[in-house]
Amino acid sequence: MKRSIVLALLASGCTGTVGSMLSNGAVEVTAPYTLGTEDFGMACASGVAFGNFLMAYTPFTDAPHRANVAGASSAAMCAEADAFEAELRRLRALFEKRPLEAEDARITEQNLHYLAAIRNHSAFKSLVITYGAPGELDEDGKLACPDLEPGEVEQLGFLLGLSSGVLAVVHDRQSGARANVPMDIPPAIRRATGCFADTDWWGMPASLRSALELSLPQDDVPPETSWAALAGAAEKGAAAGMSLPRALYIQTLAAQGRLDVACAEIAKHAAWEETAAPPAQYRLLDTYARHLIRHEVNKLWTEAKGHRAPPTVMACPESNAAPDAPPDTPEQLFGD
Amino acid sequence: MRTLLVLLTLASTALAGEKRTLCIFDISGANGDTFTQAKQMQTAAVAWGVEFELKPYTSEKAAADDFRAGKCHSVLITGVRARQFNAFTGSLEAIGAIPDYDVLRTVLSQVQAPKNAQSLGSRLVQGDFEVAGVFPVGGVYLFVNDKSINSKEKLAGKTIATLDYDKAAVVMVDVAGASMKAADITTFAGMFNNGSVQACYAPAAAYKPLELQKGLKSNGGVIRLPLAMLTVQLIIRPKDFPAGFGVKAREFALSKYGEMVAIAKKAESGIPASYWIDISGGDRDRYEALFQDVRVRLRDKEAVFHKDMLRMMLKARCAKDNARAECAAKRE
């Protein structure tokens, strides 16, 4: 009896150590490598494939939660990409006036939003276990932040984990609130962006905070200030070779019905794309951002024309584009 | 005759070929619950020959104004704001008129059942506008920063953040002997949370995203007595839609009742049990008598509420509990 207890204890101790080693390897080796790749599909599939493998060790150690912040949010990207495809199928069916196909696509879309919500929520819950609840105040009444160095990859992981919290809420609402993601996450994340300088990570913390300010009915920051911050972060990101802040800006514009400005930003993105050189070690994030912008364009194209935008076209369809410039005068065309 | 037929055919062809704009108020824009419901409506409407183009608005006033100005063929806004287009369903949010979800289901079923379309005709279509769907959002509750404010007498003298575009709310606060502090949807939570008002009212769905626990602190509470049942209403200009669209759209809205109420109940269960204040029988009766006085005043003196809707809601309350004193008095 005693022997079996000792063996069990030893086994569980070893299992915990294995879990810690795997998690450390995932955070310190796999994550940096993956961030430097540009195969978005492989990155999200890795999140799906290794999620349970890592989290199976959580009965013995909390260590896998550290890796799950990135792992589960990657897995959520797969569900999100599938939800986007279902959304395009729905819009195409609406264009073709096929109600049954549209309804089936809409149900599929909701189911995939549910999946994206639970995966993002898993990433966010792991973030809470690893770093503490974000947005809380410490004993001195100051914002409590994890002890992570600016520029450190794990600090980026923390920021992406915060984004997962927001995405968990967004996908849950679109699923019909089936995943029960708590609605107090967004205000907490808004505060937690204060753990970063606005200049950190290509302006993403400011972008995230401003997008949240615009979706929460509070009057402590005027909407013009939030819009200006989003626009400023988009430029800052572009200058650093990163399109993630612009993607968030375009998504927010589209979600709030400001299509004329969204189309103008898409045009800026198209011009930027031609010469952009994303930072080599973070190429995956830029690829993901381009995928988000491409989806906004594809939605507009499918609504207007019944199919997505051709791969070489990064622009709103004509019906959504800003009014054409006035015709050139004869003087402009033929004058001196 | 032949010319008329050709014209009618051309008109219906034009109607079928064009997109109808649906302007949707959702504080979270295209990511919110109302917009998600609208997507369902958009999908269903294809089968009724209507192609909706969805347009999100984060300002309800802008959505209503654009609809009135003809920039939208239809609009999805709260019942309080929809009152300007239809007094009948705009009275669904009359204070205290719907005390629970059973009564709400009864009333919304009667309003939206296709079999009642004929009987309700002139009530659902008023002027250029028709109510083409009512979706429940959930009970609106009074949040107080002191649990001892648990009766109408104790509400007197307190300051309440009040949506000043809602005439009914302004009158209610006045009759209760409280003072109002003008607020809108973006300011009321801040006022409550920073202590500049002692009470505010909101659906339970506002509790977590607006962090109303900051205003409740350790001593506050939420009175478990719905001041109103918030709804979102689809208003259309029937001339822009095929005949019979309103009937089908209302039937669709009714089919979504369970889904929407489930979301509302989830939000209510998100408020910790320790915050809920249950009102004792006597206090409940006094509150309900006050609510009825206000409804009658707003019907007779201010012409805010529609008498037929108040009567329908009274009948629904009495169908559930015929022992209520108001069932014999029939003031509504």
Least confident of A249-263, A315-329, B104-118, B243-257: A315-329
Q: Which chain B residues contact residue A179 at CB under 8 A?
A: none
> Which residue on chain A is closest to B56 by alpha carbon?
A257
CA distance B312 to A69: 53
pLDDT category at A321 given cuts 50, 70, 90 is low
Q: Is the pLDDT of residue B11 over 50?
A: no
Q: What percent of chain A has pLDDT over 90?
A: 73
DSSP codes of every residue in B206-232: GTTTTTTHHHHTTT-EEEEEEEEEEEE
CA distance B173 to A329: 63
Q: Tell me whether residue B251 is in a domain.
A: yes
The answer to whether A105 and A90 have CB atoms below 8 angstroms apart is yes
- Minimum-distance CB partner of A257 among B56, B263, B267: B56
CA distance A70 to A285: 12
CA distance B312 to B319: 10
CA of B185 vs chain A CAs: smallest distance (Å) = 7
Residues B131 and B171 in one domain: no
CA distance B245 to A187: 40
What residues in chain A have their Cβ under 8 A from chain B's Cβ atoms?
90, 93-94, 97-99, 102-103, 106, 170, 173-174, 176-177, 180, 182-184, 186-187, 214-220, 252, 254-257, 303
Q: Given this model, what pLDDT does residue B9 score?
A: 46
Residues B28 and B88 in one domain: yes
In 3D space, the residue among B244, B204, B209 whose CA is nearest the CA of residue B224 turns out to be B204
- Minimum-distance CB partner of A184 among B42, B187, B208: B208
Q: Given this model, what pLDDT does residue A249 score?
A: 97
Q: Tell me whether residue B312 is in a domain.
A: no
Say yes or no for a CB contact (<8 Å) between A187 and B33.
no
In 3D space, the residue among B194, B234, B300, B291 whose CA is nearest the CA of residue B79 turns out to be B234
Rounded to an integer, the average pLDDT of B182-204 is: 93
Residues B176 and B214 in one domain: yes
Residues B221 and B247 in one domain: no
Q: Given this model, what pLDDT does residue A169 score?
A: 96
CA distance B204 to B197: 18
Q: Tell me whether residue B39 is in a domain.
A: yes
Q: Given this model, what pLDDT does residue B298 score?
A: 93
Most B CBs within 10 A among A80, A94, A170, A292, hence the mutation to make, goes to A94
User: What tokens does B134 get?
Assistant: 């009512």
CA of A24 vs chain B CAs: smallest distance (Å) = 35
The total domain count for chain B is 2
Q: Given this model, what pLDDT does residue B293 score?
A: 93
CA distance B88 to B96: 16
* CA distances for B253 relative to A253, B5, B34, B40, B245, angstroms: 29, 33, 12, 10, 12
Residue type, B114: P
3-state DSSP assignment of residue B50? coil
Residues B185 and B53 in one domain: no
Q: Is the pLDDT of residue A1 over 70?
A: no
Q: Given this model, what pLDDT does residue B121 score?
A: 83
What residues in chain B have their Cβ under 8 A from chain A's Cβ atoms?
27-33, 36, 39-40, 42-44, 46-47, 51, 53, 55-58, 185-187, 189-190, 205, 208-211, 259, 263, 266-267, 270
- Minimum-distance CB partner of A183 among B31, B53, B208: B208
Rounded to an integer, the average pLDDT of B309-316 is: 96
3-state DSSP assignment of residue B76? strand
Rounded to an integer, the average pLDDT of B163-188 is: 90
Least confident of A260-274, B1-15, B279-293, B302-316: B1-15
Say yes or no for a CB contact (<8 Å) between A97 and B46.
yes
In 3D space, the residue among A94, A84, A305 whose CA is nearest the CA of residue B40 turns out to be A94
Q: Given this model, what pLDDT does residue B152 score?
A: 79
ipTM higher than the 0.90 cut: no
CA of A115 vs chain B CAs: smallest distance (Å) = 16
Instruction: Give per-residue burial for B20-39: e unless 16+ CB within 10 Å, then b.
Output: bbbbbbbbbbbbbbbbbbbb
> Which residue on chain A is closest to B206 by alpha carbon?
A183
Q: Which chain B residues contact residue A216 at CB under 8 A?
A: 209-210
| CATH number of B58's domain | 3.40.190.10
Say yes or no for a CB contact (<8 Å) between A254 and B32.
no
Residues B57 and B116 in one domain: yes
What's the gap between Cα A263 and its chain centre?
A: 20
pLDDT tens-digit series, residues A142-180 = 999 999 888 888 899 999 999 999 999 999 999 999 999
Instruction: Give per-residue burial for A225-259: e unless 16+ CB within 10 Å, then b.
Output: ebbebbbbbbebbbebbbbbbbbbbbbbbbbbbbb
Q: Give me the half-sphere count of Cα atoms (radius 13 Å) on the Cβ side of residue B236.
A: 22
Say yes or no for a CB contact (<8 Å) between A94 and B205.
no
The answer to whether B86 and B235 have CB atoms below 8 angstroms apart is yes
A98 sits in the region (left: phi over 0; alpha: psi -120 to 50; else beta) called beta
Q: Tell me whether residue B331 is in a domain.
A: no
> Which residue on chain A is closest to B42 by alpha carbon?
A94
Q: Is the pLDDT of residue B1 over 70?
A: no
Q: What percent of chain A has pLDDT over 70?
A: 94
Residues B165 and B177 in one domain: yes
Say yes or no for a CB contact (<8 Å) between A173 and B31.
yes
Query: E-assigned strands of A137-244?
Result: none
3-state DSSP assignment of residue B7? helix
Q: Given this model, what pLDDT does residue A227 score?
A: 96
Q: Is the pLDDT of residue A214 over 80?
A: yes
Q: Is the pLDDT of residue A4 over 70?
A: no
Q: In which domain, by residue range, is B123 found? A: 2-137+229-268
CA distance B145 to B215: 6
Least confident of A12-21, A112-121, B38-47: A12-21
Say yes or no for a CB contact (<8 Å) between A97 and B51.
yes
CA distance B265 to B100: 11
Q: Given this model, what pLDDT does residue A3 score?
A: 61
Cα angle A93, A98, A99 (rounded to 5 degrees) comes to 100
Q: Given this model, what pLDDT does residue B12 score?
A: 46
Q: Is the pLDDT of residue A107 over 80?
A: yes
Residues B156 and B294 in one domain: yes
Contacts with B325 (C-beta within 8 Å, 6 or more apart), sequence order: B285
Q: Given this model, what pLDDT does residue A5 score?
A: 55
The answer to whether B43 and A107 have CB atoms below 8 angstroms apart is no
* Average per-residue pLDDT for chain A: 91
Helix (H) or strand (E) holding A251: helix A244-255
pLDDT tens-digit series, residues A69-79 = 999 999 999 99
Q: Given this model, what pLDDT does residue B109 score?
A: 96
The answer to whether B241 and B12 have CB atoms below 8 angstroms apart is no
The DSSP letter of residue A325 is: P
Rounded to an integer, the average pLDDT of B135-152 is: 92
Q: Could you give the angle at which helices A63-95 and A2-25 cross, rounded to 10 degrees?
A: 60
Q: Given this model, what pLDDT does residue A28 score?
A: 85
Q: Tell me whether residue B320 is in a domain.
A: no
Q: Given this model, what pLDDT does residue A12 score?
A: 57
Domain range annotation of chain A? 15-196, 223-316
Q: Is the pLDDT of residue B304 over 60?
A: yes
* Average per-residue pLDDT for chain B: 91
Q: Given this model, what pLDDT does residue B144 score?
A: 95
Say yes or no for a CB contact (<8 Å) between A187 and B209.
yes
Say yes or no for a CB contact (<8 Å) between B44 and A214.
no
In 3D space, the residue among A292, A243, A268 whose CA is nearest the CA of residue A87 turns out to be A292
Q: Is the pLDDT of residue B189 over 80?
A: yes
CA distance B9 to B4: 9
In 3D space, the residue among A297, A296, A284 whose CA is nearest the CA of residue A77 turns out to be A284
Q: Which chain A residues contact residue B29 at CB under 8 A?
A: 215, 252, 255-257
pLDDT tens-digit series, residues B94-123 = 999 999 999 999 999 999 999 999 999 889
The DSSP letter of residue B58 is: S
Say yes or no for a CB contact (<8 Å) between A103 and B29.
no
pLDDT tens-digit series, residues A26-71 = 888 888 899 999 999 999 999 999 999 899 889 888 889 999 999 9
Q: What are the beta bridge partners of residue B232?
A: B78, B135
Rounded to an integer, the average pLDDT of B170-197 is: 92
The DSSP letter of residue B139 is: E
Residues B26 and B15 in one domain: yes
Q: What percent of chain B has pLDDT over 90?
A: 78
Say yes or no for a CB contact (<8 Å) between B36 and A176.
yes
Q: Given this model, what pLDDT does residue A318 score?
A: 85
The answer to whether A246 and A289 have CB atoms below 8 angstroms apart is yes
Helix (H) or strand (E) holding A74: helix A63-95
What's the gap between Cα B84 and its chain centre?
A: 13
pLDDT category at A334 given cuts 50, 70, 90 is confident
- Minimum-distance CB partner of A106 among B43, B56, B266: B43
Q: Given this model, what pLDDT does residue A150 score?
A: 81
Q: Is the pLDDT of residue B7 over 60?
A: no
CA of B167 vs chain A CAs: smallest distance (Å) = 22
Say yes or no for a CB contact (<8 Å) between A99 and B43.
yes
Q: Tell me whether residue B300 is in a domain.
A: yes
- Minimum-distance CB partner of B28 among A97, A173, A184: A173
